[in-house]
Amino acid sequence: MFKVDKDSLLPIYYQIEEGMKELIAREELKPGDLVPSERELAERYDVSRMTVRQAINNLVNDGYLVRQRGKGTFVAHSKIEQGLQGLTSFSEDMRARGMSPSSKLLEFNRIKASMTIAAKLKIGEGESVYEIKRVRLADDIPMAYEMLYISEELVPDLTEEALGSSIYEYMENTLNIRIAKGEQVLEASLARKNEAAILQIKEGASVLLIERTSYMENEKPVEFVQSIYRGDRYKFKIEMERH
């Protein structure tokens, strides 16, 4: 394991956190491994369970560990890393990582566009749009809760069957609608009760809010998407050059 120096200026809980992180980095603790209980760690390092609990809570909140009720605390699987340089679909991202993407459709409605949705899709307020709510999964693990809006005029015969996989692939391969670019905004947040239930995480857990508008070459919007990604499963990476 690792050592704890009680004479150090570093708090004991922080030393335990860093020690656990080092074990995970060295793969002495691997994804899915059960970690020692709070009682075991407290006895091993001769510290209070409250100190151990603070370290474990921080590691859970940072996505290194995951609790399973009635079973214990386990090492979390690595976060999925998505680059921000290119415009790709969720399905394409997951396949590129050797994972199997799928979707669970929660709602499929035709609604009248609100002022906000109409502005995003550059259509008239009150025009008919599809409102699609679904869970995006990778290897059957919920990764994101997605709310998608598409103009019915653009895709007049959209069906539930077409929503089983990638919307991008359906539009490009079936409808010959080429998606040329997108604009995306990311924001950190905490999961609300209904979002937590859908994503199988705790209420208040860290999530990433992502809004994306995709466009054709003529600048006409194709879709507007609001997504909530699990913070313990997903991270984004961007490479920058100094000019």
Task: State how far the Cα of 212 lies from the Cα of 175, in Å rounded to an integer.
Answer: 21
pTM for the model stands at 0.64
Nearest to 170 by CA among 212, 132, 116, 140: 132
Nearest to 145 by CA among 80, 77, 202, 194: 194
**How does pLDDT run across 135-186, given as a tens digit for each residue?**
988 888 888 999 999 999 998 888 888 776 677 888 888 888 888 888 888 8
Average pLDDT, the chain: 85
Quick one: average pLDDT of 209-230?
Answer: 91
Nearest to 215 by CA among 170, 184, 174: 184
Amino acid sitting at position 66:
V
**How does pLDDT run across 56-90, given as a tens digit for each residue?**
988 887 778 888 878 889 887 766 555 555 556 66
Block residue for tokens 């992502």: 210
**How does pLDDT run across 203-219, given as a tens digit for each residue?**
888 898 989 999 988 99
3-state secondary structure string, the chain?
CCCCCCCCCCCHHHHHHHHHHHHHHCCCCCCCCECCCHHHHHHHHCCCHHHHHHHHHHHHHCCCEEEECCCEEEECCCCEEEECCCCCCHHHHHHHCCCCEEEEEEEEEEEECCHHHHHHHCCCCCCEEEEEEEEEEECCEEEEEEEEEEECCCCCCCCHHHHHCCHHHHHHHCCCCCCCEEEEEEEEEECCHHHHHHHCCCCCCEEEEEEEEEECCCCCEEEEEEEEEECCCEEEECCCCCC
